[in-house]
Amino acid sequence: MPDATATIGVIGGSGFYNLQGLHDAERLAVATPFGEPSGAIVLGTLAGRRVAFVARHGDGHRLLPSEVPSRANIWALRSLGVQRVLAVSAVGSLREEVAPLHAVVPDQLIDRTHGRPSTFFGGGVVAHIGFADPFCERTATVLSAAAAASGVRTHAGGTLVVIDGPAFSTRAESEQHRAAGATIVGMTALPEAKLAREAELCYASICFVTDYDVWHAHAADVSVELVLANLQRNVDHARATITRAVAQLPEPRDCGCGRSLAGALMTAPADVPPEARARVALLVDRYWGGAP
Stretch 261-287: mean pLDDT, rounded? 96
CATH classification of the domain holding 72: 3.40.50.1580
Which segment of 37-46, 68-77, 281-290 scores lowest on mean pLDDT? 281-290
49-90, pLDDT tens digit by residue? 999 999 999 988 999 999 999 999 999 999 999 999 999 999
User: What does the alpha-carbon distance between residue 48 and residue 27 come to, in Å, rounded to a whole number?
Assistant: 19
Output DSSP code: residue 149.
Answer: H
Stretch 24-30: mean pLDDT, rounded? 94
Tell me the pLDDT band of 1, cut-offs 50, 70 and 90: very low
Type of residue at 121: F
User: What does the alpha-carbon distance between residue 19 and residue 12 come to, in Å, rounded to a whole number?
Assistant: 8
Give a yes or no: residue 271 inside a domain: no
pLDDT surpassing 90 at residue 224: no
Give a yes or no: residue 274 inside a domain: no
| Catalytic status, residue 213 | yes
Give a yes or no: residue 286 inside a domain: no
User: What does the alpha-carbon distance between residue 68 and residue 284 come to, in Å, rounded to a whole number?
Assistant: 25
155-206, pLDDT tens digit by residue? 999 999 999 999 999 999 999 999 999 999 999 999 999 999 999 999 999 9
- Active-site option among 3, 164, 213, 254: 213
- Active-site option among 59, 211, 236, 254: 211
Number of domains in the chain: 1
Give a yes or no: residue 280 inside a domain: no
Mean pLDDT (the chain) is: 93
Give a yes or no: residue 145 inside a domain: yes
Give a yes or no: residue 272 inside a domain: no
Domain containing residue 71: 8-260
Which segment of 129-133, 164-168, 212-216, 246-250 scores lowest on mean pLDDT? 212-216
Tell which residue, 7, 79, 30, has the closest CA to residue 249.
Answer: 7
Q: Which residues pair with 265 in a beta bridge?
A: 127
Give a yes or no: residue 133 inside a domain: yes
Give a yes or no: residue 265 inside a domain: no
